[in-house]
Homo-oligomer: A and B are copies of this chain.
Amino acid sequence: MRKSTAALADGREIIYFDHDGAPARTSHDRRELDPVSTTSQLRHDPVLGEWVMLGSHRQNRTYFPATDDCPLCPSRGGRQTEIPSPDYDVVVFENRFPSLSMHASPGVVPTLPPLVGSAPGVGRCEVVCFTSDHESAFGRLKPEHARLVVDAWADRTVELSALPGVAQVFPFENRGAAIGVTLEHPHGQIYAYPFVTPRTRQMLGNAVAHAERTGRNLFADVLAGERESGARVVASSSFWTAFVPAAARWPVEVHLYPHRQVPDIPSLTGDERDDFVQLYLNVLGRLDALYDQPLPYVAAWHQAPRGPGGEQAYLHLQVTSVQRAPDKLKYLAGSEAAMGAFVTDVLPEDVAERLRDVTR
């Protein structure tokens, strides 16, 4: 893997991750871009005890451009995109419309009530283009190419974790219009948050309590329980298992756990990364075969944050979909959105069986 770094016309960083022997990525960004101005701010909700990110500059971000105008394709034929090079293997760059930025200035913050905390939206948001092929998908990458994405995630986790104020690094992929994706080009994102996210705090709080009660790791026990039962296992490999959780919230939900407790992607060995790639491509193939159409999904990496409880963290990837039938979506309405109480119409065991049995 060869990593090379450059600057875009407005000063944002771009990082190429290429296979050894790929052409050098030396193209200069010839666009005239205004410097990125970021008015991101954080506010702390005293009722739920959680940070919310506010970025009023994002309302006019790019929205379903035509394929000919895709900003994530390489720059070819005189058209200048976000990636100056005429080709790339995997490329990462700072989001032009970031929710969080190291240069965040909150602009004019009105007087807030005394109970409502506020802070600049410091952090970083990156875009990860999985391939230069606009028509591809993560699930259709060759294993050695998908491995390059894993290595890019590992690199970014190390680099972003080292930025001042960053508390948690979150690589994820939103896929499909049903989940609100406005750019078709195969890509993911990375958020480097200045706080530990509410979900992670909740999970680690439970994990710490479990460790105090039993002396064991909660996630390792969950994995052991699923491997022991087998009823919800979708597929497994030497170093990883993919299963539908017994209390799944979404119509389609698959978690991929490594068999060894590691805090984050950088801690995976080369063999574990290769093995993950094989299993994940297998699972993604099953997901698209489930309804015989590309499945919209959110794929979310749970990594250890900085701070208390982090030693109980257990790296895993959570893949969820709102597609509850070929032509029906699950919506988060009253019970889920307002009360956090999920209702699901499908049994995890049935979903796991269907995913095991799909013809690909």
Contacts and interface: CB of A to CB of B under 8 A. Distances in A.
Interface of A: 43-56, 58-59, 63, 99, 110-116, 170, 172-174, 179-181, 189, 191, 193, 195, 197-200, 202-203, 205-207, 210, 218-219, 221-222, 225-226, 228-229, 231, 245-249, 298, 300, 318, 320, 324-325, 328-335, 337-350
Nearest to A209: B49
B339 A170 contact: yes
A122 to B, nearest CB: 14
B334 A199 contact: no
B58 A341 contact: no
27 contacts: A45-B246, A47-B206, A48-B203, A48-B206, A50-B340, A50-B341, A51-B341, A52-B344, A54-B347, A54-B348, A55-B343, A55-B344, A56-B347, A99-B343, A113-B229, A170-B334, A172-B338, A180-B329, A180-B331, A180-B332, A180-B333, A191-B335, A195-B341, A197-B335, A197-B340, A199-B340, A320-B337
A67 B40 CA distance: 45
B180 A247 contact: no
A104 B328 CA distance: 25
Contacts of A195: 341
A115 B221 contact: yes
B225 A338 contact: no
| Most chain B CB within a 10 A radius of its CB, from A47, A111, A180, A200 | A47
Number of copies: 2
A253 to B, nearest CB: 10
| Most chain B CB within a 10 A radius of its CB, from A205, A221, A245 | A245
Given A202-B48, A247-B45, A339-B200, A59 B113 contact: no
A339 B199 contact: yes
Nearest to A318: B338
Nearest to A98: B343
Contacts of A222: 46-47, 113, 115
